[in-house]
């Protein structure tokens, strides 16, 4: 759907300018701020276990001493704390991707476990996902129309509480380096959208029975307005934006048509940036290296034995 995205940092700025709109994951099913704030029951919490906190945002561990997050909310200085699986590490280096919003940090210790990466670019479409963030609570209802034709379109963004939450969705498209998912009007499946503060959180899909990191939260569609000139613009998570004007990057365009126009979330596609990740994350000498070293020694012994049996003296 080639729609304009406002980064979640930009949305955070717009929120701050509007006293009637507050600063996590927005859920269709409920506005209960305590919902989905504990680890989901599944392998590695469907990715929850690999989320750590840096500043007000999340990062995802991807190697023994590296984690990845978004860069549009700023680059943290060396020595910044990264809290992960009950331990606190300090960053020692940062590596920014000039071709995307990704940044990788190195830390001064070793993680006990970390996420696997999804590597099949474009294969994300149609896959169910889990997404994590520390954004806002669900806010006030957004109503469209008047009189008997007035209907609920979604919700604005509520208070910022910095609580880690999770939600689910389905990948609808991969475009321009982003994994996209729509905020559809579906009950009972933890249908989720993003809001300000969710930047940097991980988006996971299942591959071969393993939940792998497929994206890093970047942006959402919007802002929206009741007016064609964009006055009174607001941020919202909408399952049907028809009747509202949506920012297209340069102006505001009326959302219309015969089918609902839901808000979209966008996460930077991991599979599309593997060359950058591989250029930074160097495998540490570990079990794999030891196996190769052992194999070399075994081959040397076999060669020596063969030579001895053929009458060659050992050197």
Q: Is the domain of 259 the same as that of 193?
A: yes
Give pLDDT, residue 207: 98
**For the domain that residue 207 is a member of, what is the CATH number?**
2.40.10.120
Q: Is the domain of 161 the same as that of 300?
A: no
Give pLDDT, residue 9: 52
Give pLDDT, residue 298: 33
**Whole-prediction pTM value?**
0.85
Give pLDDT, residue 275: 97
Domain that holds residue 300: 285-315
Q: Is the domain of 297 the same as that of 251?
A: no
Question: What distance in Å separates the CA atoms of residue 85 and residue 104, rounded to the nearest whole number?
Answer: 18
Split into its structural domains, the chain has a count of: 2
Q: Is the domain of 110 the same as that of 81?
A: yes
* Contact partners, residue 70, CB within 8 Å, separation at least 6: 57, 101, 102, 103, 199, 200, 216, 217, 218, 268
Q: Is the domain of 290 the same as that of 196?
A: no
Identify which of 23, 237, 58 has the alpha carbon closest to the alpha carbon of residue 132. Answer: 58
Q: Is the domain of 306 the same as that of 210?
A: no
Q: Is the domain of 66 the same as that of 126?
A: yes
* Contact partners, residue 259, CB within 8 Å, separation at least 6: none
* Contact partners, residue 134, CB within 8 Å, separation at least 6: 24, 53, 56, 57, 58, 162, 163, 164, 165, 197, 198, 201
Give pLDDT, residue 282: 74
Q: Is the domain of 258 the same as that of 109?
A: yes
Strands 136-144 and 151-160: antiparallel
Question: What distance in Å separates the CA atoms of residue 21 and residue 136, rounded to the nearest whole number?
Answer: 10
Which residue carries 């910022």 as its tokens? Answer: 160
Which residue carries 């991991």 as its tokens? Answer: 270
315 has which bridge partners? none
pLDDT in tens, the chain (315 residues): 556 666 665 444 443 333 222 236 999 999 999 999 999 999 999 999 999 999 999 999 999 999 999 999 999 999 999 999 999 999 999 999 999 999 999 999 999 999 999 999 999 999 999 999 999 999 999 999 999 999 999 999 999 889 999 999 999 999 999 999 999 999 999 999 999 999 999 999 999 999 999 999 999 999 999 999 999 999 999 999 999 999 999 999 999 999 999 999 999 999 999 999 999 997 655 433 333 333 333 333 333 333 333 343 333
Three-state secondary structure readout of the chain = CCCCEEEHHHHHHHHHHCCCCCCCCEECCCCCCCCCCCCCCCHHHHHHHHEEEECCEEEEEEECCEEEEECCCCCCCCCCEEEECCEEEEEEEEEECCCCCEEEEEECCCCCCCCCECCCCCCCCCCEEEEEECCEEEEEEEEECCHHHCEEEEEEEEEECCCCEEEEEEEEEEECCEEEEECCCCCCCCEEECCCCCCCCEEEEEECCEEEEEEEEEEEECCEECCCCCCCCECEEECCCCCCEEECCCCEEECCCCCCCCCEEEEEECHHHHHHHHHHCCCCCCHHHHHHHHHHHHHHHHHHHHHHHCCCCCC
Q: Is the domain of 303 the same as that of 226?
A: no
CB 78 within 8 A of CB 91: yes
Strand order in the sheet with 151-160: 136-144, 151-160, 236-238
Q: Is the domain of 177 the same as that of 311?
A: no
Q: Is the domain of 33 the same as that of 173?
A: yes
The string of pLDDT tens digits covering residues 294-306 is 333 333 333 333 3
């Amino acid at each position: 759907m080639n729609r304009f995205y406002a980064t979640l940092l930009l949305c955070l700025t717009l929120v701050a300018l509007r006293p009637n709109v507050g600063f996590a994951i927005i859920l269709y099913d409920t506005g209960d701020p305590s919902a989905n704030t504990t680890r989901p029951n599944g392998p590695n919490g469907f990715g929850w276990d690999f989320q750590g906190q840096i500043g007000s945002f999340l990062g995802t561990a991807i190697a023994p001493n590296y984690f990845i997050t978004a860069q549009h909310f700023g680059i943290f200085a060396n020595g910044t704390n990264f809290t992960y699986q009950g331990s606190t590490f300090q960053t020692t280096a940062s590596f920014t991707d000039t071709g995307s919003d990704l940044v990788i940090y190195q830390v001064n210790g070793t993680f006990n476990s970390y996420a696997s990466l999804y590597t099949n670019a474009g294969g994300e479409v149609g896959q169910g996902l889990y997404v994590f963030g520390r954004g806002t609570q669900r806010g006030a209802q957004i109503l469209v129309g008047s009189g008997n034709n007035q209907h609920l379109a979604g919700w604005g963004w509520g208070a910022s509480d910095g609580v880690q939450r999770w939600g689910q969705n389905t990948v609808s498209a991969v475009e321009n380096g982003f994994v996209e998912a729509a905020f559809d009007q579906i009950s009972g499946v933890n249908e989720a959208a993003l809001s300000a503060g969710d930047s940097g959180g991980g988006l996971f899909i299942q591959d071969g029975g393993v939940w792998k990191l497929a994206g890093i939260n970047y942006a959402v569609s919007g802002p929206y307005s009741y007016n064609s000139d964009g006055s009174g613009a607001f941020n919202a998570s909408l399952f049907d934006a028809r009747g509202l004007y949506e920012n297209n990057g340069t102006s505001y365009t009326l959302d219309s048509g015969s089918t609902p126009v839901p808000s979209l979330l966008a996460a930077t596609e991991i599979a599309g940036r593997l060359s950058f990740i591989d250029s930074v994350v160097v495998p540490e000498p570990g079990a794999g290296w030891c196996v190769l070293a052992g194999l070399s020694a075994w081959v040397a012994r076999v060669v020596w034995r063969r030579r001895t049996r053929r009458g060659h003296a050992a050197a």
